[in-house]
Amino acid sequence: MSLDRTDPAGAIAAAAKRCSNWGRWGADDVRGTMNFLTPAKRKQGSALVRRGVSFSLAQSFDMDGPQKGWRRRTNPVHTMLDTGTDAAAGIQGFPHGLGGADDIIAMPLQCSTQWDGLGHIFDHGIAWNGRPAGEVVTSLGDAVTGIETVADVIAGRGVLLDVGRTIGTDGELPDGFPITAEHLRATIDEQGPTSKVATGDIVLVRTGQLARARRDGWGDYAGGPAPGLSFTTAEWLHDTEIAAIATDTWGFEVRPNEFDDAFQPLHQVAIPHIGLFLGEMWDLDALAEDCRADGVYEFWLNAAPLPITGAVGSPVNPIAVK
């Protein structure tokens, strides 16, 4: 797939036509590519647990996160409602010496490790499966494809593609590096048969950008230049029939985007047309080290979103078990 940098609208329209899954699971479908993650696939994934070693793939949810306020995205604000000092002062009002602590958190749902739901992105006012966006997401939330519709689904075979180590230098890709389907296939070939991608898999793509941010500081990690999936991978994302894909970057696709005037064009195809769930800001470094050490790049992955009614995305603490 070649790109005309001057024509993002034409490229998006053409890719949307080639990669559309509209109607594939019926006019009323709300789960998109999660339909590929069947009970049989989930059973297959559960059989991958051999050593019982587990990895949290979540970044921290705290005030030291990467957000800089773009479109009102801020880092989580954690506030204590009751504390040990309150208990020690005897001001909580509980009987017989009982004390406790309680807290609250305020945050955008996509400020750290998260899923993009199917109501997150539209194409010319159209949402997943050809529905008018205004009939899907209103001020009351996503009444059709809210993230709660997949709360019981996202667990199965996970596959790590460590493109940063295979293609990059010292395990990292430079900012602005577009990962093509050829890079993904080369990574699979390099890593071996346990990284073969199949229908219903949850694919994790490590670029190494998070490792760089940890070393050098957040900088423009949130919204700035980054390695990521090339727009030309739209067909690969569609044809592999994966259930979902996640990266260790803020925006999943390469930034700056590959057109002269565009913003997240691959999102515009992947979510409303393919029906694909995208994960962003996942921490894949420790898992990648373990995969490299034992040569096994497949694992059981439980990455259920919080069942927040009507939400178009959700924080997640994905757990990979090998």
CATH 3.50.30.50 residue ranges of the chain are 8-71+108-321
Q: Write down the architecture of domain 8-71+108-321 according to CATH.
A: 3-Layer(bba) Sandwich (3.50)
Q: Stretch 182-203: mean pLDDT, rounded?
A: 98
- The dihedral built from the CA positions of residue 10, 120, 151 and 111, taken in this order, carries a sign that is positive
pLDDT band at 265 (very low <50, low <70, confident <90, very high): very high
Percent residues over pLDDT 70 in the chain: 100
74-120 tens-digit pLDDT: 999 999 999 999 999 999 999 999 999 999 999 999 999 999 999 99
Is it the case that residue 18 has pLDDT exceeding 80? yes
CA 210, chain centre distance (Å): 14
Q: What count of residues does the chain have?
A: 322
pLDDT at position 2:
74
Q: What does residue 219 show for φ and ψ, rounded to 5 degrees?
A: 50, -125
Is it the case that residue 227 has pLDDT exceeding 80? yes
Q: Stretch 206-228: mean pLDDT, rounded?
A: 98
Is it the case that residue 1 has pLDDT exceeding 70? no
- Rg of the chain over Cα atoms, rounded to whole angstroms, equals 20
pLDDT at position 291:
98
What is the three-class DSSP state of 59? coil
pLDDT band at 268 (very low <50, low <70, confident <90, very high): very high
Q: Per the structure block, which two tokens stand in for 254? A: 């390469």
Percent residues over pLDDT 90 in the chain: 99
Is it the case that residue 308 has pLDDT exceeding 70? yes
Q: Stretch 251-265: mean pLDDT, rounded?
A: 97
132-189 tens-digit pLDDT: 999 999 999 999 999 999 999 999 999 999 999 999 999 999 999 999 999 999 999 9
252 and 230 in contact (C-beta within 8 Å)? no
144 and 272 in contact (C-beta within 8 Å)? no
SS3 of 226-257: the string is ECEECHHHHHHHHHCCCCEEEECCCCCECECC
